Amino acid sequence: MHLATWGMVLECLEHTDIGMGITAPPVLIATVGVALLGLLATVAWIVLLLRAWLGRRETIRKLRALVQAVVVGGLAWVSGWIMFLGSVQLVGQGPKVEKMLQQERVEELATIRRNRVAELARQGPGAITALVEVLNDEDQEVRLAAARALGEMGPQALAALSVLEKRLKLNAATVSLEASICLLAMQKIAPQSALDYLTAALHETDPRIRIQAVRGFCLLKREAKTVVPKTVVPILIAALGEPDAEVRRAAAQQLGEIGPAAKEAIPALLKAAEDPDRSIQMESYTALRQIQTEPGNPK
């Protein structure tokens, strides 16, 4: 039993990667401890048996040695069962432990790459090529750090525009932090390129992409004081009639973001205020207040 259990323990040790500095599970530590105790007890039991039968002693001393051997042997037997049960539990946890270790390795490597991006950002324009490559990293935080660094380099980072636009298109239909960061980076590198991308997105057939394009214009309005094109308002008015409730809600919200410049949307918003979806009603009323509030005269 001891030999079989030791085999199971050694197999688990191979999968815990203790040499990498990762803490072993408590079950493994306890099992290994009991295994060592059982091994010592087994050795002691064998030694006592040999001394009892081979030694030149009186009968009483031999009996005493036999009793000691039985006690130690019992300890070895009990420890063997504890080892076996512990190792069975440990083997059952194997996939879970392996998954945890893999996740720790992934996070550790991602941290290393983030630190590398910070070093590249400090190097300035000479690191643009390396930062552009990082925009395709599997870790989102690494990509965001690279996009921010390229944006801070301004027009010198023109080589990054195509990759930034690619990342934008991958997130074109959803609200995404990555899309916002990439759009702002494009605006800092080449302002017209960001406007051209959003203008093209306004003519997509997917209403979700059109809504996100409007969000992009509103983002640039807040962060870069860019003027929202007049063509945006009719697109949002049409979106208030879309079957998708999320699209209608986003359209009302973005009309409010545009403010007094969206006055032509007031009739459509009054109708949207009667939408069966209560959240759309609330967004419509909020948008009406924002549109009817003159700049510098909040109500």
**Is residue 133 predicted with pLDDT exceeding 70?**
yes
The reply to whether 7 falls in a domain is yes
Residue 30 has a pLDDT of: 55
More confident residue, 89 or 108: 108
Distance CA 227, CA 6 (A): 72
pLDDT at 294: 62
CA 210 to CA 232: how far, in whole Å?
9
Q: What DSSP letter does each residue of 233-280 carry, written as one string?
A: HHHHHHHTT-S-HHHHHHHHHHHHHHGGGGGGGHHHHHHHTT-SSHHH
Quick check: 223 pLDDT over 70? yes
> Considering the domain boundaries, does residue 146 fall inside one?
no
- Residue 287 · residue 255 · CB < 8 Å: yes
> Which of 108-122, 217-231, 253-267 is modeled with the greatest confidence?
253-267
Token look-up 């990439």 returns 182
Give the pLDDT score at 288: 95
Domain end: 98, 127, 161, which one? 98
Q: Which domain holds residue 276?
A: 230-299
- Residue 51 banded pLDDT, cuts 50, 70, 90: low
Name the least confident of 16-25, 60-69, 207-216, 252-261. Answer: 16-25
* Mean pLDDT within 253-259: 90
Amino acid found at 299: K
pLDDT exceeds 60 at position 12: no
Give me the half-sphere count of Cα atoms (radius 13 Å) on the Cβ side of residue 98. Answer: 11
**Residue 89, domain member (yes or no):** yes
Domain count, the chain: 2
Q: Is 230 or 97 the better-scoring residue by pLDDT?
A: 230
Q: Domain for residue 193, yes or no?
A: no
Q: For residue 42, is it within any domain? A: yes
In angstroms, the CA 33 to CA 28 distance is: 8
Domain end (from 68, 98, 128): 98
The CATH number given to whatever domain includes residue 239 is 1.25.10.10
Domain membership flag for residue 236? yes
**Whether the predicted pLDDT of 24 surpasses 70:** no
Answer whether 125's CB lies under 8 Å from 132's CB: no
Burial 7-45 (b: 16+ CB within 10 A, else e): ebbeebeeebeeeeeeebbebbeebbebbebbbebbebb
d(CA 48, CA 88): 31
Counting Cα atoms < 13 Å in the Cβ hemisphere of 166 gives 10
As given in the structure block, the two tokens for residue 247 are 């699209």
User: Would the pLDDT of 298 be above 60?
Assistant: no
Q: How far apart are CA 119 and CA 4, in angstroms?
A: 51
Residue 8 belongs to a domain = yes
Domain membership of residue 283 (yes or no) is: yes
**Considering 74, 98, 122, which residue would you say is the last residue of a domain?**
98
Name every residue whose Cβ is closer than 8 Å to that of residue 212 and which is 6 or more positions away in sequence: 172, 173, 174, 175, 179, 201
pLDDT tens-place string over residues 74-105: 666 566 556 555 555 555 555 665 666 677 77
pLDDT at 45 over 70: no
